[in-house]
Chain A
Amino acid sequence: MRLNELQAAMRAGILGEPTEALLAEIDGCGLASAARLRIHRNNTLFGLTEALRTSFPAVARLVGDRFFDFAADRFIRGAPPREPRLANYGAGFPAFLAGFEPARTLPYLPDIARLEWAVNLAYNAPDEAPLAPAALVDLAPDAYPRLRLALHSSCRLVRSGFPIKRIWLANRPGAETEGTIDLAEGGATLLVMRREFEVVLIEIEPAEHDFLASLRDGGTIETACTCALATDAAFDLAGLLARQFARGSFARAILPAP
C-alpha cells in the first residue's frame, strides 16, 4: 500500500471495521493486529467523545454518561471532524440527535443541543469590537432602509417550543437540580451572546428575533422591519435598535452606496 492508501485504510478501520489488507500491514508484536489498531480507535473515539461532552454538557447530564457515549459513538463514526480544532466539532450533533431513534422520548433534547452549540460558538467566537451608535450619526435618514448591520460574531439566535433556557440552566455543570419543569409551560426565543467573557442568554420577543434573523441573513433594515412587522404590527424599530446598541449586538454597518 502507498502511504495515502494506508492512511485511508486506517481512517476507515478506526471509524469502522479494518480490512484484512490493513491488518496484514500491522505488526502485532505479540498481540493481534486488530488489538493494536483498537488502541488508536479507542483514543480517537474517547478524545472526540470528550470534546462533544465539553460542548454539550447539559445534553450529557440529561441523558446520562452511558447514553451520551453511545450517541456520540454513532455520531462520530458517521460525521467525523472535518477540521482539527476540537472546539469546532459538533455542529451536526443537534440534527443528529433529532433523528436519533433512541432519543425520541426526549423531544426537547435536539433544541437543548442547538442551544448548547450556540453557547459554544458564542464562547469561542473571535474577538470583535461592537459597533458604536456614533457610526450611524452621519447617515441620512432616507438611507436607513438600505442599511445593513452585521451581527457581532458572538451573537446567535435560538428558538424552541420548549422552555429550553430553564432546562439548560437546571442542567449546567454544577447546577442544583430544582423541582420539575413543565414542558408545556411555553417556548423560548433567545439571543445568545458573549458579554465580557461569559455567555448570556437574553430572552427576546419573536419580532425582535425575526428582525435580527433577517439582518443575520444579510437583509437590509427595510427587509428586517418587514419581517418583524409581519410578526408584530406594534414593532418599535427605534427601541429595538437602542437595545441592540446597548448590548453590542452589531459589529459592522454596511452603508448603502450613495
Chain B
Amino acid sequence: MTGIGLRFPHHDALLAAPAPVGWLEIHPENYFGGGRPRHCLERLSERYPLSLHGVGLSLGSAEGPDSAHLEKLRKLIDRFRPILVSEHVAWTAQGGIHLNDLLPLPYTAEALETLVANIDRTQDVLGRHILIENPSSYLSFTRSEMPEWDFIAAAVARSGCGLLLDLNNLYVSARNLGFDPDTYLAAMPGDAIGEIHLAGHAVRHIEAVELRIDDHGSAVDEAVWSLYRQLVRRIGPRPTLIEWDSRIPPLATLVGEAAKADAILAELAAEARHAAQ
C-alpha cells in the first residue's frame, strides 16, 4: 500500500482518524526536538510504519556529513526502527554553512569517490543500509565525465546502498537538461530500487526557456504516472510514496494520490497474472 510524506499540518487529522495509507515518511530533521512534533510522531509510529527521508546530511559534500547530525539521526533510527532510511544525491553544506537547497554535484570520478565514501560512513554510523535518491537537476557542469544516470548507478553499485528512485525528479531533470527520461530509467538498476517517490512539480519560464521546478506543490504529472507504469511493469511493485511540501492540501488529497498509485499497482499485478497464464 502506498505511503505519504508526513507534514505538520496533517498531524491532527492523522491522529483523529485512521487514513488508508500504508506508511508515513518523515524528514527526520523536523523531529530532532521534543514537544508536540515528537509527541505526534510517537503516537503515529504506533499506527503506521515509518520511513526516514533525510534532507540535511549533505552526502555529496567534499567535507563529509556532519558528525553531530549523523548522531541525532542514529538516535531517531534507534528509537523508531524505520522500515526505510534515505538521503539525497546532493550537497547542502560547505565550510560549515548549510544552504538548505539540494545542490548538484559534478558527475566526475572525484565526486563519485566522495559520495561513495560518505555513504559508507553513513551506513557504518547508522548500522544499516540506506537508499540514495536521484536529484532534480537545474544545471550541469562542464567538467562532468558521465551522465547523471551512470553516476547514480555507479554510486549504488560501489557503495552497496539501495536506490530511492524519484520519478518526478527524473522527469524534471530530463526536461531541464534535455535528455530522454526513458534512457535514464533504463539505466536504473531494478534490483537496487527499494522505494519510489512520486510528486508534482511546477512549470516556469526563464527567457522563454521552459524549466520544471520540483516544488512538490501539486498533483503528480501524467508524464510521471506514465514513467511509474513503465517502471513497475519492468521491476514489479516497490514501496511507493506521495510527497507534497508546498501549498499543502487537505490530507484527503494526498490519500487520493496514494489511492491512484495503489490502483495502478493492482492493475499491473492483474496484467502480470494474466500474462503469466
Chain A residues near B (Cβ < 8 Å)? 1-4, 6-8, 10-11, 14-15, 24-27, 29-33, 35-37, 39-40, 43-44, 47-48, 51, 80-87, 123-128, 153-154, 194, 197
Give the residue among A7, A14, A40, A51 with the most B Cβ atoms within 10 A.
Answer: A7
A128 touches B101 (CB 8 A): no
Secondary structure class of chain B's binding surface, majority of residues: mixed
Chain B residues near A (Cβ < 8 Å)? 29-30, 32-39, 55-58, 61-63, 66, 68-69, 91-101, 103, 105-106, 108, 110-111, 114, 138-144, 176-178, 206-207, 209, 211, 213
A10 touches B103 (CB 8 A): yes
B62 touches A7 (CB 8 A): yes
Residue of B nearest to A5 (CB): B62
Chain A residues with Cβ under 8 A from B55's Cβ?
84
Give the residue among A1, A6, A25 with the most B Cβ atoms within 10 A.
Answer: A6
Q: Nearest Cβ distance between residue A68 and chain B, in whole angstroms?
A: 17
Residue of A nearest to B176 (CB): A29
Given contacts A27-B142, A197-B35, contact A47 B29 (CB under 8 A): no
B62 touches A4 (CB 8 A): yes
Chain A residues with Cβ under 8 A from B105's Cβ?
3
Residue of B nearest to A126 (CB): B34
Chain A residues with Cβ under 8 A from B92's Cβ?
84
- Alpha-carbon distance between A127 and B33 when the two chains are bound, in angstroms: 8
| Selected contact of B33 from candidates A11, A29, A37, A125, CB within 8 Å | A125
Residue of A nearest to B29 (CB): A85
B178 touches A29 (CB 8 A): yes
A29 touches B140 (CB 8 A): yes
B110 touches A31 (CB 8 A): no
Residue of A nearest to B105 (CB): A3
Q: Nearest Cβ distance between residue B115 and chain A, in whole angstroms?
A: 10
